[in-house]
Structure 1
Amino acid sequence: MKRLLGVALGVLTAIGGFVDIGDLVTNAVVGSRFGLSLVWVVAVGVIGICLFAQMSGRVAAVSGRATFEIIRERLGPRAGLANLGASFLINLLTLTAEVGGVALALQLASSVSPMLWIPVAAFAVWLVIWRVKFSIMENVTGLLGLALIVFAVAVFLLHPDWNQLAGQALAPAVPASEESTTYWYYAIALFGAAMTPYEVFFFSSGAVEEKWGRKDIAQSRINVLVGFPLGGLLSVSIAACAAIVLLPRAIEVTSLSQVVLPVAEAGGKVALAFVLVGIVAATFGAALETTLSSGYTLAQFFGWSWGKFRRPAQAARFHVAMIVCLLVGIAILATGVDPVAVTEFSVVFSAIALPLTYLPILIVANDRQYMGKDVNGRLTNAVGLVYLALIVVAAVAAIPLMIITGMGS
């Protein structure tokens, strides 16, 4: 029972990280344009994030320290600063997108302008981080986010042509109406959405928050193997709903309301209510994760006191850093920029920053000074090197493909 309850961290990381505003929009866009021909990227992303999150969680459980803190110590301040710069800027961009995503989700539920919801969403994020215990935060947000399972239910209620969907998934091909460069651009966007850096830093820091030790390594594996595949299943369900309803009608996703359209068509008002609860919970959970990750990365790099297990007065700089990040996010959104556009930028730039994020984790997980007998095995290292190569290729190709395709337009 304890292990089952402990899976909440993995569920929160999956719901708030794997199925955040980036995945909601990107998977729906891909489904409406390419069907399920890019579902293989989700599978690759799930395996990759499971691999690196498991390493990160194991490092935290064995050392009792968060990954970013060890990265600075192990690689030195210069390499650590490069890692910090890439991770923090992408995290800040993602935080902005998530706060905007909460506002868009609340607009769907209330018909009130998202510009009015943005400061409310940011204040709610700050209030939860300031006052709510970590365990309560992860349990409530993770469980409410499970309402997104309605996307999977909707796939069955829509009575699709299963042979056609299977053909799209098992024999992927570029549709005649699309360019191959656009196909690969969205493949990288999906990959970046699945392996956003903040997921790993949040998972590692969350393990320290919950005081994991060597005895909890098995718990870490359960969290990873339950949470992230669940997120992958929900991502595929979002793409499948778009492929069934939007693709035949040539409707391209440009707003969050179009993402939920297939669910409303499948299950009416009841299904729509579930999906709205799930989207608000997922985007709010992601906003909590990215805000905390901003504080975690800065505090761990500079050696500040950090963590929700400490009173705010005992970790003042940690909390001030998060407040500043939220204010920056509000300022960016106040310019009137489309949160969906911010989301598209964030997932692509996540792919660009991946090498600086994941290489240090791979190095630390192989360091016996920190890990002792719990260093990576040969199989983990072999798969890790394959993924490192994929990450480098994605990072190098992202900007050229973004320019050539005009961000997939």
Structure 2
Amino acid sequence: MKRLLAVTLGILTAIGGFVDIGDIVSTSEAGARFGLSHAWVLVVGVIGICVYAEMAGRVAAVSGRPVFDLVRERLGPRVALVNLIGSYLITVATLGAEIGGVALALQLLNGAPYLLWVPLVAVLLWLALWRVRFETLERVFGLAGLALIVVLVSAFSLGPDFGGVTHLTPPAGENWPTYWFFAIALFASAMTPYEVFFFSSGGVEERWTARDLNLSRVNVFLGFPLGGLLAFGFLATSAAVFHPLGVRVDTLGQAVLPAGLAYGQIGLALAIIGVFAATFGAAMETSLSAGYTVAQYFGWAWGKMLRPRQATRFHLVVLVSILIAVAALLTTIDPIQLTEYMLIFSAIALPLTYLPILVVANDRRYLGDKVNGRFANALGLIYLVIVVAAAVAAIPLMVMTGMGG
């Protein structure tokens, strides 16, 4: 049982990264508009995040230090500062969307406007991060997020045209720029920068050593593919229900509706519980990631392994990040739209995140004989080319398509 619970860090990271509020709606909208023709993007994204998360976990386990800490030391404060600013802004934007996503899930449960839930969600989030142990958080929300399996099972009950997986062209009524816009958004959602920073820092929080390399890899190669499968569940159920009708999906209620059609109230309830757990877990990840990156850059004490008074500045950054996110939501910006913008700007920042990780993972001063092998470097370079291409194409496609409209 202890070994089983030990992989919940990967489950929490993967569920929070692959099925946050924006990704739930973006995969659902992609399924509604393009059927299963974007399924290949999820596969590419899963492989990519596994490649770099394995590096990040190995760095943390062997060196005993998180990736961002070593990036600053290896590449210097100026390069790391650019990385810090980009990742922090994207992380806080994502945090706002996740808090909004939790509020939207609560709205589905009782009908009260989601903005009324935002302050309460923020308070609960802060209390959980301040008072609850790291291991407890990852296990409770990582395992509760598995309720989303009902969406994946619903996909097979509803019977979409699985032959559409091989149709790599936009259907009638859609065009190539919009097709590629959604492809980049889905890819960026799989490779969001905060995931590797959270995973690496989480490994340090759990005191991984070189003896835990296999545990780190199990977290990566079990957790992230699971997150990809759950994301595929939203893509497939939307393709089964909405694509034949030509109906677009732009709300959380539409995204979880297929589970209700497949299994009635029980299916709908499980889907909503899963969405609540996934978005709250993602809110925890992004809150902590904001604190991790800032504290690690400036060399402050950090982490939930320390009492709040021992890492005051770290917890202050987390609190300020939550307040900024709440302030953004209270402007009445749509949290789903906020996340969609975040995904595009995240795509732009991907090279700033993954190039430094590749550099550190090849540095023998930190990893000794545990540096990347030829296969890991080959995959790392291939994905570096892909993320650069996505970064270059993101803004032009956003402008050409009007955010995929």
Residue 90 in structure 1 maps to residue 69 in structure 2: no
Secondary structure in structure 1 of the residue aligned to 2:245: coil
- 2:74 corresponds in structure 1 to 74
Counterpart position of 1:363: 359
- In structure 2, runs of 5+ residues without a counterpart are none
1:15-73 Cα deviation digits (max 9, x unpaired): 11221112211110100000100100000000000000000000000000011011000
User: Identity, % of aligned pairs?
Assistant: 59
Residue 240 of structure 2 aligns to a residue in which SS? helix
Query: Secondary structure in 1 aligned to 2:243?
Result: coil
- Does residue 1:353 correspond to 2:313, yes or no? no
Calculate the TM-score normalised by the size of structure 1: 0.98
Any conservation in 1 of the 2:148–2:274 contact (CA below 8 Å)? yes
Q: Residues 4-403 of structure 1: matches in 2 within 5 Å?
A: 4-158=4-158, 160=159, 164-165=161-162, 167-403=163-399
CA contact (8 A) 1:30 1:38 kept: yes
Secondary structure at the aligned position of 2:76 is classed as helix
Give deviations 1:244-286, integer Å, cap 9, x for gaps.
Answer: 0011111111111110111111111010110111000000000
CA distance in 2, matches of 1:169, 1:270: 29
CA contact (8 A) 1:305 1:315 kept: yes
Q: Which runs of 5+ in 1 are unaligned?
A: none
Q: How many residues end up aligned between the 2 structures?
A: 405
What code does the residue aligned with 1:146 have?
L
- Give the ranges of 4+ consecutive aligned residues of structure 1 lying more than 6 Å apart after TM superposition: none
Q: CA deviation at 1:156?
A: 2.3
In structure 2, C-alpha distance between the alignment counterparts of 1:156 and 1:64, rounded to whole Å: 43
Code of the aligned partner of 1:181: P
How far apart are the structure 1 equivalents of 2:167 and 2:79? 42
Q: Deviations over 1:85-125 (max 9, x none)?
A: 11111111111111111111110111011111111111111
**SS state at 2:248 partner:** coil
Which residue identity is paired with 1:225?
A: F
AA aligned opposite 2:320:
V
Give the letter for the 1:346 counterpart: M
Task: Report the TM-score, using the length of structure 2 for normalisation.
Answer: 0.99
- Residues of 2 paired with 1:58 and 1:257: CA distance? 39
1:202-236 Cα shifts (integer Å, max 9, x gaps): 00000000000000011000000000000011111
Residues 374-402 of structure 1: per-residue CA shift (max 9 Å, x gap): 00000100110000000000000000000
Amino acid of the residue matched to residue 280 of structure 1?
Answer: F
Q: Distance in 2 between matches of 1:6 and 1:361?
A: 24
Cα drift, residue 155 of structure 1: 1.4
- After TM superposition, give the deviation of residue 157 of structure 1 in Å: 2.3
Give the Cα separation in 1 of the matches to 2:328 and 2:167: 41
Q: Give 3-state SS (helix, strand or coil) of 1:37's partner.
A: coil
Match of 1:406 among 393, 402, 405: 402
Deviation at 1:171, TM superposition (A): 3.0
CA distance in 2, matches of 1:117, 1:250: 33
Cα distance in structure 1, aligned partners of 2:375 and 2:392: 26
Cα displacement string for residues 273-308 of structure 1 (whole angstroms, at most 9, x for unaligned residues): 101110000000000000000000000000010000
Distance (Å, rounded) in 2 between the aligned partners of 1:104 and 1:278: 13
Shift of 1:346: 1.1
Q: CA deviation at 1:347?
A: 1.2
Summarize deviations over 1:302-326 as a string: whole Å, max 9, x none: 0010000000000000001111111
Q: Is the 8 A contact 2:296 2:302 kept in 1?
A: yes
The question of whether the paired residues in 2 share the 8 Å contact of 1:246 and 1:262 is answered with no
Shift of 1:349: 1.1
